[in-house]
Chain A
Amino acid sequence: MRTLVYGLLAYLMTGAGMSLASEDAAMLEKGKYLAKAADCVACHTAPGKEPYAGGLAFELPFGTLYSPNITPDRETGIGGWSDEQFVKALQEGIGPEGDHYYPAFPYTSYTKMPREDILAIKAYLFSLDPVEQSAPENDIAFPFNQRWGLYFWNLLFLDEGRFEPDPDRSEDWNRGAYLVTGPGHCGECHTPRNLFQAMDSSERLAGADLGGWRAYNISGSDSHGIGTWTEEQLVNYFRQGYAEGLGVAGGPMAEVVDLSLRHLNDRDLRAIATYLKQTEPQATGLPRPTPLADTLAAPEQPGLGSKVFAEACASCHQWNGEGNQSPAATLAGLKTVHDPKARNLMGILMEGNPASSLPVNHRMPDFGTIYNDYELSALATFVLQHFGGLDAEVTPEQIRERQAAALH
Chain B
Amino acid sequence: MQTVKVNNQTHVVDVPGDMPLLWVLRDILKLTGTKFGCGIAQCGACTVHMDGQPIRSCVLPVGDVSGREITTIEAIGEQPLAQKVQRAWLDHEVAQCGYCQSGQIMSAVALLANNNRIDDHAIDQAMAGNICRCATYTRIRSAIQDVSESVGVWQP
Please report A residues at the B interface, Cβ cutoff 8 Å: 298, 300-302, 306-307, 310-312, 314-316, 319, 324-326, 359-361, 363, 365
Please name the 10 residue pairs, one residue from A and one from B, whose CB atoms are nearest each other, closest first: A310-B128, A315-B129, A325-B55, A310-B125, A311-B128, A315-B41, A360-B59, A325-B60, A361-B59, A298-B125
A310 to B129, CA, bound (A): 7
Tell whether, in the assembled complex, residue B124 and residue A359 are in contact, meaning their CB atoms are under 8 Å apart. Answer: no
A139 to B44, CA, bound (A): 48
Tell whether, in the assembled complex, residue A325 and residue B50 are in contact, meaning their CB atoms are under 8 Å apart. Answer: yes
Tell whether, in the assembled complex, residue A316 and residue B41 are in contact, meaning their CB atoms are under 8 Å apart. Answer: yes
A360 to B53, CA, bound (A): 19
The binding surface of chain B is classed by DSSP as mixed
Tell whether, in the assembled complex, residue A307 and residue B40 are in contact, meaning their CB atoms are under 8 Å apart. Answer: no
The smallest C-beta distance from A360 to any residue of chain B, in angstroms, reads 5
Residue ID in chain B nearest A327 by CB atoms: B64
Is B74 positioned at the interface, with any CB of A under 8 Å from its CB?
no
Tell whether, in the assembled complex, residue B58 and residue A360 are in contact, meaning their CB atoms are under 8 Å apart. Answer: yes
The binding surface of chain A is classed by DSSP as loop
The smallest C-beta distance from B58 to any residue of chain A, in angstroms, reads 7
A314 to B41, CA, bound (A): 10
| B55 partner residues in chain A, CB cutoff 8 A | 324-325
Tell whether, in the assembled complex, residue A360 and residue B18 are in contact, meaning their CB atoms are under 8 Å apart. Answer: yes
A156 to B44, CA, bound (A): 55
State which of A300, A301, A311 has its C-beta within 8 Å of the C-beta of B129: A311
A319 to B39, CA, bound (A): 21
A/B interface sample: 9 pairs, CB < 8 A? A302-B121, A310-B126, A312-B42, A326-B60, A359-B61, A360-B18, A360-B39, A361-B59, A361-B61
State which of A301, A314, A363 has its C-beta within 8 Å of the C-beta of B128: A314
The smallest C-beta distance from B96 to any residue of chain A, in angstroms, reads 21
| A363 partner residues in chain B, CB cutoff 8 A | 40, 59
Residue ID in chain A nearest B41 by CB atoms: A315
A324 to B47, CA, bound (A): 13
Which of A300, A302, A310, A360 is most buried by chain B, counting CB atoms within 10 A of its CB?
A360
| B18 partner residues in chain A, CB cutoff 8 A | 359-360
Contact string against A for B residues 49-68, beta-carbon threshold 8 Å, 1 for contact and 0 otherwise: 01001011011110010000
Tell whether, in the assembled complex, residue A316 and residue B56 are in contact, meaning their CB atoms are under 8 Å apart. Answer: yes
Contact string against A for B residues 101-135, beta-carbon threshold 8 Å, 1 for contact and 0 otherwise: 00000000000000000000110111011000000
Tell whether, in the assembled complex, residue B125 and residue A314 are in contact, meaning their CB atoms are under 8 Å apart. Answer: yes
| B128 partner residues in chain A, CB cutoff 8 A | 307, 310-311, 314
Residue ID in chain B nearest A298 by CB atoms: B125
A300 to B115, CA, bound (A): 12
A213 to B4, CA, bound (A): 40
State which of A306, A324, A326 has its C-beta within 8 Å of the C-beta of B125: A306
A360 to B63, CA, bound (A): 12
The smallest C-beta distance from B71 to any residue of chain A, in angstroms, reads 15
Would A324 and B53 be within 8 Å (CB), given that A307-B128, A310-B129, A311-B128 are in contact?
yes
Would A300 and B42 be within 8 Å (CB), given that A311-B128, A316-B59, A325-B60 are in contact?
no
